[in-house]
Structure 1
Amino acid sequence: MLNLLNQATAPTWDDPIEMLYACHGKVKKFCGQLHLLPDYIAQHGCNAAAQEAITQISTYFNRAAPLHHADEELDFFPLLSKYCPEAQMVIDELEAQHIDLHKNWDTLHTQLQETLAGVRVAPDMQIIQNFTMAYDEHIPKEEQLFELGKTHIPPNELGEIGKIMAARRVG
């Protein structure tokens, strides 16, 4: 979205598909930080900057990512399936991937917490790669469905699920 001054504005729940895209932007940002973390810690130790990064990454993947997946599974995917039933096979695949993404996060989160506690020097790069590669595969498939949603789902129904998604974050 752009405002009159040509400055980017943040999406709102009035446009839930853009909010889903925005979540993916955050996932990509935090995955990029995860890749940098072991080298950073090797050079600087688990200093305040590393601790803050770990805390922000953990907060996102513990809170926002599960909400994002709920938005998709409870609201967006069923609505897309209603208007674009041929997407169901991909929806089923993505929902199964959500389970694996959460399992991968649980493993990585344990290592991040151990790093904060001084039990481990840094998270294992292979664990980080497993986690981020799964998202690298997952996100493009979802974004294809977001585009289908823009084409097939009536705007008033998108607005309704946007309200539900916003309410999910209040309750």
Structure 2
Amino acid sequence: MLNPFATESVTFETPVAMLIACHDRVRQYAALTEKLALHLEKYGADAAAVAGAQSILRYFDVAAPLHHQDEDDDLFPALLAKATPELATIIAEITAEHAELGVLWQQVRLALLAVIAGDAAALTQSLAQQFAQRYPAHAAREEREIYPFAAQLLDDACLAQLGKTMSARRQAS
């Protein structure tokens, strides 16, 4: 059965690659948020704006929370069991960023719902720009400062279990 969360070239058999593929979608939808704010200024809350807002909502309401669970509930605890104090500090900082990004998402979410309801002024350039910058920066930091340790610290059996857990989480959704 085709998994809708998998990409053509990445599957849950390679969980870190799957997390990076999720980051690619985070970057795509975060950038779309900024483009949407520009569109709203020119064209208002037209059908294209509503469709864009709906697609951003769909991604960040469904896939992004699953991704954060993959990290917070599975990858990070596995790494922490073998982490140096420096890596443990980075993981703690990243986990705290997840909470901050969650608050930011709720602000963007409310604005997107207002756009869908016809309020073209709800999504400000400032809010959209902050969202479009912070989420990709966070993802890049994870890829640079945490993900490389998965290959170094986690054995094949642990990585395989991570992939199975990630897949099962999505099948339950």
Q: Which amino acid counterpart does residue 155 of structure 1 have in structure 2?
A: D
Gaps of 5+ in 2: 1-6
1:57-98 Cα offsets, whole Å, 9 max, x none, are: 101111111110010011000111223333110110011110
CA distance in 2 between counterparts of 1:136 and 1:44 reads: 27
Residues 40 and 49 in structure 2, CA contact (< 8 A), matched pair in contact too: yes
Once the two structures are TM-superposed, the CA of residue 120 in structure 1 deviates from its matched residue by 4.1
- Report the TM-score, using the length of structure 1 for normalisation: 0.89
Once the two structures are TM-superposed, the CA of residue 114 in structure 1 deviates from its matched residue by 0.7
- Report the TM-score, using the length of structure 2 for normalisation: 0.88
Once the two structures are TM-superposed, the CA of residue 11 in structure 1 deviates from its matched residue by 0.7
1:10-47 Cα offsets, whole Å, 9 max, x none, are: 21111110110001000100111111112212323322
1:93-116 Cα offsets, whole Å, 9 max, x none, are: 011110010100001110111111
2:39 is equivalent to residue 36 of structure 1: no
Query: Which residue number corresponds to residue 84 of structure 2?
Result: 85
SS in 2 for 1:83: coil
CA distance in 1 between counterparts of 2:127 and 2:150 reads: 33
CA distance in 1 between counterparts of 2:143 and 2:104 reads: 21
Query: Which residue number corresponds to residue 3 of structure 1?
Result: none
Query: Which residue number corresponds to residue 125 of structure 1?
Result: 125
CA distance in 1 between counterparts of 2:100 and 2:131 reads: 9
Residues 94 and 142 in structure 1, CA contact (< 8 A), matched pair in contact too: yes
Name the Cα RMSD after superposition: 1.6
Identity of aligned residues (%): 31
Gaps of 5+ in 1: 1-7
Q: Which amino acid counterpart does residue 29 of structure 2 have in structure 1?
A: F
Q: How does 1:6-85 map to 2 (within 5 A)?
A: 9-85=8-84
Once the two structures are TM-superposed, the CA of residue 122 in structure 1 deviates from its matched residue by 4.5
Residues 12 and 166 in structure 2, CA contact (< 8 A), matched pair in contact too: yes
